[in-house]
Chains A and B, each alone.
Chain A
């Protein structure tokens, strides 16, 4: 059975909204547990359907990986391929990461100082 993760997230969101507006009774607890059980069931099914580790037919094994491994050192000039990918091939992505951290710390400091 194929489950789209987005559908699962939407389902969980609707369930959370539904549970929030229910009155505080035993029915609410039972209903919550059943909904959590359904979500957990589909999560476990998704994990069980994942491809085996290290299989040659997996989606991440493509020409990009071969390109990085075979020509990474001469194209980036560094022997550490992880740093070569992070700081050269995917440098803009790393800049975005740094921006996210910058905004996170700015928001945290602003929240703390505001009180």
Chain B
């Protein structure tokens, strides 16, 4: 697909989609959203990029190795955030009772471990959507020969 209009519009729109996705992840504890929704938005921006350019361009932005590290890293970060509470002498994934700083409810940095969990899930879901899409498209192109 060699459509100049689609490519230029995509190049304009993708950064805004990604900024919005990062906003949804970071403000997940204040407004509707969270790790799952924001990660899906960021992943969708990369899907849009790969659709309007081609698979090689998208794979160069997020290579498979990077996606693997993001996928495992997000899940591991979630698990290790929970382990911190055990080190502090409480149950797994305890939040405020374990002594994490609460801050002022309603501000960006508040709520103990909740924003960190949101960010970890966001990274993981981004990688999930990107990996799944790129692998399926790669399979399609492999079967069709060269598109």
Using known A-B contacts A77-B105, A101-B128, determine if residue A86 contacts B82 with beta carbons closer than 8 Å. no
Q: Identify the interface centre among A76, A83, A99: most chain B CB within 10 Å of its CB.
A: A83
Q: How many residues of A contact B (CB 8 A)?
A: 28
Q: Please tell me which one of the listed residues B31, B95, B136 contacts residue A76 in the complex, with CB atoms under 8 A apart.
A: B95
Interface residues on B, range: 35 or more
Interchain CB contact under 8 A, B79 and A77: no
Determine if B45 is an interface residue (Cβ-Cβ < 8 Å): no
Q: Please tell me which one of the listed residues B71, B92, B105 contacts residue A73 in the complex, with CB atoms under 8 A apart.
A: B105
**Closest B residue to A90 using CB positions:** B93
Residues of A within 8 A of B135 (CB): 108-109, 112-113
Determine if B52 is an interface residue (Cβ-Cβ < 8 Å): no
Kindly supply a per-residue 1/0 record for chain A positions 73-105, scoring 1 wherever the CB is within 8 Å of any chain B CB and 0 otherwise.
Answer: 111111110111011100110110011011001
Q: Number of residue pairs across A and B with beta carbons under 8 Å?
A: 99
Residues of B within 8 A of A99 (CB): 75
Residues of B within 8 A of A84 (CB): 29, 111, 114
Interchain CB contact under 8 A, A87 and B128: no
Q: Please tell me which one of the listed residues B29, B93, B121, B138 contacts residue A92 in the complex, with CB atoms under 8 A apart.
A: B93
Q: Please tell me which one of the listed residues B30, B71, B114, B128 contacts residue A88 in the complex, with CB atoms under 8 A apart.
A: B114
- What 4 pairs between A and B have smallest CB-CB spacing? A78-B29, A91-B93, A78-B111, A77-B111
Can you offer 18 A-B residue contacts whose CB atoms are under 8 A? A73-B105, A74-B105, A76-B95, A80-B29, A80-B34, A83-B28, A83-B34, A83-B114, A84-B111, A87-B117, A88-B112, A92-B92, A95-B82, A102-B71, A102-B128, A109-B131, A109-B132, A112-B136
Chain A residues close to B by CB (< 8 Å): 73-80, 82-84, 86-88, 91-92, 94-95, 98-99, 101-102, 105, 108-109, 112-113, 115
